Amino acid sequence: YPSGNLAIIVTRERDQLICIVQDDEPRTAKIRALFQPDGRSTCYYPNGDEWINMSIQGGQYLDQAGNRVRRWMWPNLSPGPHVPLSPIFISLNRHVGVRILAQDKIFVSFLAMGRQAKFNMGTKVQASAASQLPPPTQLGEDELLLLAFRVRILQLFDRMRRCLNFPSSEHWNKIQPPTYLMTQAVKILELCMAADISDELRSSISAIVNA
């Protein structure tokens, strides 16, 4: 960002790329979007609530109250008639936007100081691969809370390590946490969306990992 805060992280996991969009914050930046090579992607509102969720089957668009506004299925991956996708464009903030045109045309655009960068994070997943995916894991409330507190503790240990390594630096608090911690936080939020838990608990877990 023009502020110097990290906006977009592209990291490699098992020879595939993952894209993480962060908010423009100087300290522990909130994750605003995650795009994964297996077709799963999620965008979040500024308060951490889910905005858009996509899988290899399709996707859904939620309003800020959590109500589903739109739902669609990708063609050639679902038997029978499917709900087509009308192009979607959202602004995560004043610099980062997401445009969804098709399963293999999901663009993340970054605009600042008159210059633009664009990333295509879409992917084509074959129907045969979709049928081989295991069902999502369902975790209980206690397990989800333990996972959230574990990530939070690791985040605090990382901040302590940075403070000890750079005691005289004024900028140690601006250093971004390790990518694996941000990825774990996003995965916990995804598990919360799939689990049968209350909205209050889901908000509490989101607050823990994004604190």
For the chain, the structural domain boundaries read: 8-120, 141-210
Question: Is-contact 193 203, C-beta < 8 A?
Answer: no
* Average pLDDT score over the chain: 79
Q: What is the pLDDT of residue 52?
A: 93
Q: What is the pLDDT of residue 33?
A: 92
**Which residues have a Cβ under 8 Å from the Cβ of 28 and sit 6 or more positions away?**
155, 177, 210, 211
Torsion sign (Cα): 79, 84, 87, 93? negative
Taking 70 as the pLDDT cut, the residues of the chain under it are 13-14, 76-84, 125-139, 165-178, 211
Q: What is the DSSP string of 110-175?
A: EEETTEEEEEE------HHHHHTSPPPPP--HHHHHHHHHHHHHHHHHHHHHHHHHSTT-SSGGGS
Q: Which pTM value belongs to this model?
A: 0.60
The tens digit of pLDDT for each residue in 99-138 reads 999 888 999 999 998 899 998 988 876 544 444 444 444 5
Q: Which two tokens stand for residue 195?
A: 């689990």
